[in-house]
Structure 1
Amino acid sequence: MTATQPTRGTLPQVIRRDQATLLVSGADRQGLVTEVSSVLADFDANIISLDQHSDDPFGGNFFQRTVFTVTDFEAKQSALEAALEDNITEELGLTWQLIPGSKIKRVAILASKADHCLLDLLWRQRRGDIPMSVAMVISNHVDVAADVRQFNVPFFHVPSAAGSDKSAAEAEIVKLLEGNVDLVVLARYMQILSPEFLDQVGVPIINIHHSFLPAFIGAAPYRKAKERGVKLIGATAHYVTADLDEGPIIDQDVVRVTHADTAADLQRRGADVERQVLARAVTWHCEDRVMLNGHETVVFSN
């Protein structure tokens, strides 16, 4: 393993120390929005955004995302968490997560030779378009090292051994990630991750697949799409699970193509879709807009 660790660039984000996001989920029933809001009202919270969803109004699952401000939030956070535990967990039987507005997610990006998704994420982070701090870039090739250095982000080269045994490389990556990141993004990282690796990492992993899943799962989807004569190609951002390319989908998009487009044309045009879809998915995750509902996702727009 080789590494270069330049000084980090400053993160152009507005840190909102009096703002927080509350995520609530559980069995739906009448009055939940009022009861959750009343807990926040007891702390003089000002709700600035609220969105909720029920997958079935009669006995379904309830999901709510609330963004609010509280004066001196950091001083009141422990008391608010205790009130949420008493009222939301004990009385209503719901689960909840309270995320301070000052907490910017630390992200590791894994990439291979293709650089379009990687550089797009680094550029958006530098502009402050995505509320994240890129803690490191890890690649099994050195092709992107020079470009990553321009963003003042640590770059680590962890080669993948030939053959099916990737355990040594995965163990090295786990050491780099452990305790340092809140999210891992696979920006066209062309390696299949083992179930053991997924368990050890212990944080969500987002992948961009260059296909409109569930079509053309696995390798070479643009070639498969050309052979099938499709008129639409797309990209899918999803959470990674032990089942290859079958994790909960966060975002998808498509672009129209014709019979005259070659497989190379499809790949070139698809790269634009991949960038946009992955950027949206990472942004929504970092803004705490995505909640899991079994194998599906609830993605809040407000």
Structure 2
Amino acid sequence: MGAFRHSSSLQRVAKQLGDRATLRVLGPDRKGIVAACSDLLNRHGCSIVSSEHYTDYSATPHSMLFQRILFDPEGLRDRSEVKTKVQELERKFGVKTKIDWRDKSPKVAVLVSKHDHCLWELLLRQQAKELDCEIPLIISNHENLRHVADTFQIPYYVFPVTPETKLEQEQAQLALIEAHDIDVIVLARYMQVLSKHFLSRYADSQIINIHHSFLPAFLGGRAYHQAHDRGVKLIGATAHYATLDLDQGPIIAQDVVAVSHRDGPHDFVRKGRGLERNVLVRALQAHLDQCVLVYNTKCVVFSD
């Protein structure tokens, strides 16, 4: 009997976590908007699990409100009615909103080159159910990491890229990604600069990149060597949304570790890899949990 109760308890917890939805609000700060959103959900039978909001008073020409409500829609009778009422709030307060019902796990495509540390971390965390997503494919420009994909029984596709074939290969990659109905793309040390054409197809904060420096310092492919040449005392890793401006997209997560004059470039790389793994996972988790609101060049990242 005790084992039966324990199993039922786990099932209830899993159901509660899976049934949670989010409402995100972004726009000019207006009196009453925070209360109006909570009241709307309550009136339609939703239980609010958590609510966070932040006002950026430095924004111009007016202060900006960022709000995230995590709620349980179990008592909700009609989703379409809630959607209609939320649209009415948009018009009344002049804000943008997005409801995510979490009906299914988002699909993630991982792009890699030859470095394997970020790929291993993503796949292990996803297998352990620490990342609520599916990873139906891995794309690379090299054969090197096929054994990692094989370990997790995930299809691995190779598109060798040269300056002459870059656009053609990107088009083939996009066709594959779209065929799998991918929600977010993760560049897990994918050492190719995506073209304007590729980025324009996924411009709405759908591509997450990990960069091996504490941006905005040390852009480009040899960031650790640049940092070593400058004699820095801290190195970092940055996860950001990819944009047309290389390594300058809105930052989701960052971290640093101390280094000294005794550390050579290889030590920088070794220490940095741990940062890259953890920062990338944190950023993807925040994105999957709908904790991120993007405004111009910045991200507001709420806790779940």
- Same fold per superposition (TM over 0.5): yes
Contact 2:236 / 2:275 at 8 angstroms: preserved in 1?
yes
What is the rounded CA distance, in whole Å, between the counterparts of 1:70 and 1:175 in structure 2? 35
1:48 aligns with 2:49: yes
Superimposed CA distance per residue, residues 167-225 of structure 1 (whole angstroms, 9 cap, x where no aligned partner): 01111110011151110000000000111111124551000000111111012111111
Structure with the higher helix share, 1 or 2: 2
Q: Report the CA distance shift for 1:201/1:294 in structure 2 as closer, same or farther (over 3 A).
A: closer
**Which residue of the partner structure matches residue 74 of structure 2?**
71
Of the three residues 204, 215, 225, the one matched with 1:213 is 215
What is the rounded CA distance, in whole Å, between the counterparts of 2:92 and 2:14 in structure 1? 36
Residue 76 of structure 1 deviates from its aligned partner by 2.1
**Which residue of the partner structure matches residue 170 of structure 2?**
170
Contact 2:203 / 2:243 at 8 angstroms: preserved in 1?
no
Q: Report the CA distance shift for 1:154/1:72 in structure 2 as closer, same or farther (over 3 A).
A: farther
User: Residue type of the partner of 1:166?
Assistant: K
Structure 2 unaligned runs (5+)? 1-12
Q: How does 1:16-95 map to 2 (within 5 A)?
A: 16=17, 18-56=19-57, 59-71=62-74, 73=76, 76-86=78-88, 88-95=89-96
Once the two structures are overlaid, the 10-residue window that deviates more, 55-64 or 264-273, is 55-64
Higher RCO (C-alpha 8 Å, min separation 6):
1
Q: How does 1:120-159 map to 2 (within 5 A)?
A: 120-159=121-160
User: Residue type of the partner of 1:170?
Assistant: E
Q: Report the CA distance shift for 1:57/1:49 in structure 2 as closer, same or farther (over 3 A).
A: farther
Residue 83 of structure 1 deviates from its aligned partner by 1.5
Residue 164 of structure 1 deviates from its aligned partner by 6.0
Q: What secondary structure does 1:284 align onto?
A: helix
**Which residue of the partner structure matches residue 303 of structure 2?**
301
1:281 aligns with 2:279: no
**Which residue of the partner structure matches residue 5 of structure 1?**
none
**Which residue of the partner structure matches residue 270 of structure 1?**
272
Please, what is the CA RMSD of the aligned residues?
1.8
Q: How many residue pairs are counted as aligned between the two chains?
A: 287
Residue 72 of structure 1 deviates from its aligned partner by 5.2
**Which residue of the partner structure matches residue 234 of structure 1?**
236
What is the rounded CA distance, in whole Å, between the counterparts of 1:83 and 1:102 in structure 2? 20
What is the rounded CA distance, in whole Å, between the counterparts of 1:14 and 1:26 in structure 2? 33
Q: What secondary structure does 2:82 align onto?
A: helix
Contact 2:46 / 2:75 at 8 angstroms: preserved in 1?
no
Once the two structures are overlaid, the 10-residue window that deviates more, 63-72 or 263-272, is 63-72
Contact 1:44 / 1:70 at 8 angstroms: preserved in 2?
yes
Contact 1:226 / 1:262 at 8 angstroms: preserved in 2?
yes
Once the two structures are overlaid, the 10-residue window that deviates more, 90-99 or 257-266, is 90-99
Q: Report the CA distance shift for 1:246/1:164 in structure 2 as closer, same or farther (over 3 A).
A: farther
State TM-score, norm by structure 1. Answer: 0.91
Contact 1:108 / 1:136 at 8 angstroms: preserved in 2?
yes
Residue 232 of structure 1 deviates from its aligned partner by 0.7
What is the rounded CA distance, in whole Å, between the counterparts of 2:285 and 2:164 in structure 1? 33
Structure 1 unaligned runs (5+)? 1-12
Q: What secondary structure does 1:123 align onto?
A: helix
What is the rounded CA distance, in whole Å, between the counterparts of 1:291 and 1:149 in structure 2? 35
Superimposed CA distance per residue, residues 73-118 of structure 1 (whole angstroms, 9 cap, x where no aligned partner): 4x522221112112x1222222111101323211000000000001
User: Residue type of the partner of 1:300?
Assistant: F
Superimposed CA distance per residue, residues 112-137 of structure 1 (whole angstroms, 9 cap, x where no aligned partner): 00000011000000000111111210
Contact 2:239 / 2:253 at 8 angstroms: preserved in 1?
yes
Residue 301 of structure 1 deviates from its aligned partner by 1.4
Q: How does 1:250-265 map to 2 (within 5 A)?
A: 250-265=252-267
Q: Report the CA distance shift for 1:126/1:83 in structure 2 as closer, same or farther (over 3 A).
A: same
What is the rounded CA distance, in whole Å, between the counterparts of 1:195 and 1:243 in structure 2? 10
Contact 2:214 / 2:236 at 8 angstroms: preserved in 1?
yes
User: Residue type of the partner of 1:220?
Assistant: R
User: Residue type of the partner of 1:51?
Assistant: E
What is the rounded CA distance, in whole Å, between the counterparts of 2:165 and 2:36 in structure 1? 52
Once the two structures are overlaid, the 10-residue window that deviates more, 48-57 or 61-70, is 48-57
Q: What secondary structure does 2:68 align onto?
A: strand
User: Residue type of the partner of 1:50?
Assistant: S
Q: What secondary structure does 1:178 align onto?
A: helix
Contact 1:18 / 1:72 at 8 angstroms: preserved in 2?
no
Contact 2:44 / 2:75 at 8 angstroms: preserved in 1?
no
What is the rounded CA distance, in whole Å, between the counterparts of 2:184 and 2:167 in structure 1? 21
